[in-house]
């Protein structure tokens, strides 16, 4: 395992180090990233773009496939390091590794048919009057080097070779990755896999670099480097917003594709609540606590009409959550933030605790609170994400109040409708609200987990993400790292790479 920084094919140390804080086993010492190493990586990425940005789709697809192969070859080592660093169970990491390699192979297949280029051709009309029309060809072209920030909660699928990296490399963009301090060994091992795939195909070494954490200065240097043309980020609202502002303040502003958090509300309509309330409550408990609640699609709020069925739902949900054993959170800092968020909610007048269980060190158990819509309206901070297994049950007097509550929410990654056939008429106006609030609207399901597929959207209006027209999951993610170019009167056979 390399404990240094991968800069354009070379593993390089630095004068300062940090020690990891694993969930089990001793900490490892890693060389910190530095602004100087970031500058070297970004310069090499720009140099690599002049060849990699003009490679064939077949070459890039082969690169992605080779990365997947190299990751799979390191499967046992990744599980060993990843479970130690994060506390995640081996089965979860094995599944995430499969998702990571699946994403890489999905993008490899996606680019081969060329449909992502969105080619358009308006043939010349030299005899048109009063003015002739030139020959016009449009194609999507890669934007240049991309910066990717690893996520804390997905050490593989949203990190070194995750969806951001896979889609950028598929588009033809070199990538500079900033590792996450919660899992530096896992990140470095995946970086080794990417570099091995690059070496096997004799690609420019600047196509991929990996810089370890080195404090705020490293992240700032990366988003402000003049060679970086876009940023992919998954993390906290505060950290993401700070980087977003830096991107906007550059002499050349660049797009910041940040996924910043969401409470992913569920709305239970009356007939569904009456017919399936207990089953929905049990399913919610599973979704709410999956991975210790450390999923960005964790459904933190359930909204339902007041009455006997609501009371039964609360009882069923509380019982299901009591049966969930304590789980290990990714870092002590995340657990501390969970306790802080929990305490803030519990202190609000009108909030009733249904379950409050210990959350010490890195261990956390579920928490459940109940309130009414008026309390939520008077305390909008209650609708902010608490990262972990914490749920709010919000009761409303009628469907109209439920719809107004939905209108008051900020942007979300997901929103869910639980409805019965008899609820569809009332659900339609609510659906119109939710499609403006979320990137993915579910019916009679639970949002935890994001299917990697052509039609998936993982993004939403701010603050769920910083660009409501983008997704970080699914093949549409490649569009973030492409831009349309129109070629006018281009001679036949010239620049075939643009439309091939």
Q: pLDDT of 377-387, one tens digit each?
A: 999 999 999 99
- What pLDDT is stored for residue 54 in this prediction? 95
Q: What is the side-by-side strand order in the sheet with 136-142?
A: 120-122, 136-142, 482-488
3-state secondary structure of 495: coil
Q: What is the side-by-side order of every strand in the sheet holding 146-149? A: 10-12, 5-7, 208-211, 175-178, 146-149, 230-234, 256-259
Answer left, alpha or beta for residue 9, where phi above 0 means left and psi between -120 and 50 means alpha. Answer: left
Of 51, 157, 184, 44, which is closest to residue 96 (Cα–Cα)? 157
Per the CB < 8 A criterion, the answer to whether 219 and 244 are in contact is: no
Nearest one of 367, 418, 417, 359 to 392, comparing CA atoms: 367
Q: What are the b/e assignments for 61-98, b being 16+ CB within 10 Å? A: bbbbbbbbbbbeebeeebbbbbbbbbbbeeeebbebbb
Q: Is the pLDDT of residue 496 over 80?
A: no
Distance CA 26, CA 84 (A): 9
Contacts of residue 115, defined as CB under 8 A and 6 or more positions apart, other chains included, come to: none
Burial class (CB in 10 A: 0-12, 13-18, 19+), 358: exposed
Note whether 36 and 44 are within 8 A (CB).
Answer: no
Residues 6+ apart with CB under 8 A from 89: 83
Please state, as a whole number, how many other Cβ atoms lie within 10 Å of the Cβ of residue 238: 9
For residue 258, the 8-state DSSP code is E
Helix (H) or strand (E) holding 406: helix 399-408
| Mean pLDDT (the chain, rounded) | 95
- The per-residue pLDDT for 1 is 54
Judge whether residue 498 has pLDDT over 90.
Answer: no
Predicted TM-score (pTM) of the model is 0.95
DSSP category for residue 206: G
Asked if 352 contacts 394 with a C-beta cutoff of 8 angstroms, the reply is no
Q: What is the mean pLDDT of residues 170-187?
A: 97
| 462: helix, strand or coil | coil
Q: Is the pLDDT of residue 227 over 80?
A: yes
Q: pLDDT tens digits for 350-363?
A: 999 999 887 778 89
* Sign of the Cα pseudo-torsion (392, 324, 151, 54, in order): negative
User: What gap in Å lies between CA 425 and CA 430, rounded to an integer?
Assistant: 10
Q: 326 near 363, Cβ under 8 Å?
A: yes
Q: Quote the Cα angle for 448-386-413, to 5°.
A: 45
Q: What pLDDT was estimated at residue 492?
A: 84
pLDDT tens for each residue of 125-136: 999 999 999 999
pLDDT of residue 500: 58
pLDDT at 405 over 80: yes
pLDDT in tens, 93-123: 999 999 999 999 999 999 999 999 999 999 9
Nearest-CA neighbor of 225 among 204, 207, 247? 247
pLDDT at 277 > cutoff 90: yes
CA distance 177 to 353: 42
Give all strands (DSSP E) within 377-456, no chain letters: 390-396, 412-418, 438-443
How many residues are recorded in the chain? 500
Catalytic residues: 259, 296
Q: How far apart are CA 281 and CA 265, in angstroms?
A: 14
Contact 173, 144 (CB under 8 A): yes
Q: What is the pLDDT of residue 499?
A: 59
């Amino acid at each position: 395992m390399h404990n240094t920084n991968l800069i354009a094919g070379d593993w390089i140390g630095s004068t300062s180090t940090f020690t990891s804080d694993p969930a089990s086993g001793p900490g490892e010492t890693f060389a910190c990233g530095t602004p100087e190493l970031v500058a070297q990586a970004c310069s090499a990425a720009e140099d690599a773009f002049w060849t990699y940005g003009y490679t064939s789709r077949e070459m890039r697809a082969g690169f992605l496939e080779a990365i997947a192969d190299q990751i799979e070859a390191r499967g046992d080592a990744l599980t060993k390091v990843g479970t130690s660093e994060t506390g995640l169970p081996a089965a979860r990491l094995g599944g995430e590794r499969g998702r990571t390699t699946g994403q890489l192979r999905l993008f490899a297949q996606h680019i081969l048919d060329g449909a992502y280029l969105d080619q358009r051709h308006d043939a010349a009309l030299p005899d048109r009057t009063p003015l002739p029309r030139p020959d016009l060809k449009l194609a999507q072209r890669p934007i240049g080097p991309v910066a990717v920030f690893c996520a804390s909660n997905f050490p593989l699928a949203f990190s070194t070779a995750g969806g951001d990296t896979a889609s950028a490399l598929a588009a033809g963009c070199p990538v500079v990755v900033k590792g996450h301090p919660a899992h530096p060994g896992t990140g470095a091992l995946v970086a080794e896999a990417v570099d091995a795939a690059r070496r096997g195909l004799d690609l420019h070494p600047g196509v991929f670099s990996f810089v370890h954490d080195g404090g705020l200065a490293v992240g700032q240097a990366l988003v402000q480097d003049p060679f970086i043309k876009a940023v992919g980020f998954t993390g906290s609202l505060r950290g993401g917003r700070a980087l977003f502002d830096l991107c906007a303040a550059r002499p050349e502003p660049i797009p910041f594709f940040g996924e910043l958090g969401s409470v992913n509300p569920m709305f239970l309509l009356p007939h569904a609540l009456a017919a399936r309330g207990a089953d929905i409550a049990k399913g919610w408990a599973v979704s709410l606590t999956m991975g210790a609640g450390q999923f960005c699609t964790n459904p933190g709020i359930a909204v339902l009409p007041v009455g006997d069925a609501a009371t039964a739902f609360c009882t069923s949900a509380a019982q299901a959550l009591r049966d969930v054993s304590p789980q290990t959170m990714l870092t002590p800092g995340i657990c501390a933030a969970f306790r802080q968020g929990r305490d803030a909610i519990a202190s609000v007048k009108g909030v009733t605790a249904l379950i409050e269980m210990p959350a010490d060190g890195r261990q956390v158990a579920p928490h459940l609170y109940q309130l009414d819509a008026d309390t939520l309206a008077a305390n909008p901070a209650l609708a902010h994400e608490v990262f972990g297994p914490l749920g709010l049950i919000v009761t409303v007097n009628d469907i109209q109040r439920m719809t107004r509550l939905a209108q008051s929410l900020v942007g979300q990654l997901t929103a869910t409708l639980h409805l019965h056939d008899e609820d569809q008429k009332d659900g339609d106006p609510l659906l119109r609200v939710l499609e403006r609030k979320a990137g993915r609207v579910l019916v009679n399901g639970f949002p935890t987990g994001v299917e990697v597929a052509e039609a998936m959207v993982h993004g939403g209006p701010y603050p769920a993400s910083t660009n409501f027209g983008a997704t970080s999951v699914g093949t549409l993610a490649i569009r973030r790292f492409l831009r349309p170019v129109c070629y006018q009167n281009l001679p036949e056979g010239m620049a075939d790479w643009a439309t091939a």
